[in-house]
């Protein structure tokens, strides 16, 4: 009996089993292989028809050299679909998800370490220009800004709270940024104030989202160059992505710039028996017994281009002690020595009771 074996070499490491045998001679009735069935047999990846198309209809696919010579931009054969290994793909995806999970945990751990090393929390405020921004767009951004601020360990100061403090003045009516900055810096103690000057979200897609934000350091009384962002909106979900990117960028800049000065707070109301209310408390990280230097002013260090590079506090004119923590984030201090604090004086911690 004479037989002939056809050896098949499939590119990219895939082996297609021989399926074509010559008919039996010497008493055996002719038997022909199935080459038309589209459904793979049980336990097999490829159907008989797929094997036929690979081996007979397109025999050049059997050479590994083909995969080295072919130009994917000119060839239309979808080999990935034919040879994809679902099990390997699933394992690769699972490995990727695990790596991303480990990376996310590492970032969260680093953030928690950074929080633990910073005993005092910075107040970051947001004020929306309602003359140029719709109520809906403003509220969408403020919700995301609150989540982003708190996720980064800072204290969020809402637009409403700032407006309430300013309601007894004409600062907003006059659009006097210097006046606004001075007041909110003392109470509620906002260190970094973000003025959202423009925020435009498309009514329909496709469209474009734009924003313009001024970041002001109330301690240095310095307004940084305006941050502008634009992004094409191709789907409804892109709006949330844009607002998240904007909030993250603003908060990152604020947290970076706040390091130019040591943490501080202000006294804003004098009580009896030489005691004062200050604009920080338990949430900010103060503890009963903490000592704060009363500093009238300091020296601003600038780069050659005029940007703030640092701040050196002046000599203390007095010392106060945290006597009691009150409300959510307020405290009462008493004079230990020197001259009592005034509104614009900086109260800078000497140490904490845990040290």
Q: What is the pLDDT of residue 196?
A: 98
Does residue 296 fall inside a structural domain? Answer: yes
- What was the pLDDT predicted at 312? 95
Residue carrying the six token digits 């920080």:
280
Report yes or no on whether pTM surpasses 0.75: no
| Of the residues 257, 287, 317, the one at which a domain ends | 257
How many domains are there within the chain? 4
Omega before 206 within 30 of 0, i.e. cis: yes
The pLDDT assigned to 30 comes to 47
Pair 147, 251 in one domain? yes
Query: Both 188 and 112 in a single domain?
Result: no
pLDDT of residue 1: 44
- Give buried/exposed letters for 74-100 (b at 16+ CB in 10 A, else e): eeeeebeeebeeeeeeeeeeeeeeeee
74 in the same domain as 102:
no
- Full residue range of the structural domain in which residue 203 is found: 120-257
Q: Are residues 240 and 303 in the same domain?
A: no
* Same-domain check for residues 202 and 239: yes
- Whether residue 303 is found in the same domain as residue 243: no
Q: Is the residue at 262 inside a domain?
A: no
Q: Please check whether residues 203 and 213 belong to one and the same domain.
A: yes
CA R_g for the chain: 35
Segments of the chain scoring below 50 in pLDDT: 1-31, 58-84, 86, 352-355
pLDDT tens-place string over residues 80-114: 444 445 456 566 777 777 776 776 666 555 555 55
Tell me, yes or no, whether 274 and 251 share the same domain: no
CA distance 126 to 193: 6
Asked whether residue 66 falls in the same domain as residue 52, the answer is yes
Q: Has residue 2 been placed in a domain?
A: no
Let me know whether 139 and 244 are in one domain: yes
Q: How far is CA 132 from the centre of its chain?
A: 26
In a domain? residue 1: no
At 27-85, the pLDDT tens digits run 444 445 666 777 777 766 667 766 666 555 544 444 433 333 334 444 444 444 444 45
For residue 103, the model assigns a pLDDT of: 67
């Amino acid at each position: 009996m004479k037989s002939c074996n056809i050896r098949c070499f499939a590119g990219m490491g895939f082996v297609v089993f021989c399926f074509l045998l010559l008919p039996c001679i010497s008493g055996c009735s002719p038997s022909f292989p199935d080459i038309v069935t589209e459904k793979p047999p049980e336990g097999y990846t490829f159907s008989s028809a797929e094997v036929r198309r690979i081996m007979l209809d397109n025999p050049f696919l059997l050479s590994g050299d083909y995969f080295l010579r072919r130009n994917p931009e000119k060839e239309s054969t979808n080999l990935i679909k034919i040879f994809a290994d679902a099990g390997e793909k699933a394992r690769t995806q699972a490995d990727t998800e695990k790596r991303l999970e480990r990376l996310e945990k590492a970032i969260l751990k680093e953030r928690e370490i950074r929080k633990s090393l910073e005993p005092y929390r910075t107040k970051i405020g947001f004020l929306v220009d309602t003359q140029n921004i719709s109520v809906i767009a403003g509220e969408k951004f403020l919700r995301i800004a609150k989540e982003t601020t708190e996720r980064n360990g800072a204290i969020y100061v809402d637009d409403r709270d700032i407006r309430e403090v300013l309601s007894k003045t004409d600062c907003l009516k006059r659009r006097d940024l210097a006046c606004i900055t001075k007041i909110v810096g003392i109470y509620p103690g906002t260190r970094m104030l973000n003025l959202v000057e423009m925020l435009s979200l498309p009514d329909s897609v496709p469209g474009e989202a734009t924003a313009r934000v001024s970041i002001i350091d109330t301690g240095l009384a310095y307004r940084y160059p305006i941050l502008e962002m634009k992004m094409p909106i191709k789907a409804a979900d892109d709006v949330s992505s844009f607002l998240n990117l904007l909030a993250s960028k603003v908060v990152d800049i604020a947290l970076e710039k706040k390091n130019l000065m040591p943490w501080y707070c202000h006294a804003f109301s004098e009580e009896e028996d030489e005691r004062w209310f200050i604009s920080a408390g338990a949430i900010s990280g103060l503890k009963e017994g903490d000592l704060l230097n009363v500093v009238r002013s300091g020296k601003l260090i600038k780069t050659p281009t005029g940007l703030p590079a640092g701040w050196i506090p002046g000599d203390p004119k007095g010392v106060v002690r945290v006597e009691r923590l009150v409300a959510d984030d307020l405290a009462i201090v008493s004079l230990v020595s020197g001259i009592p604090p005034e509104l614009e004086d900086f109260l800078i911690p000497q140490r904490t009771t845990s040290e």
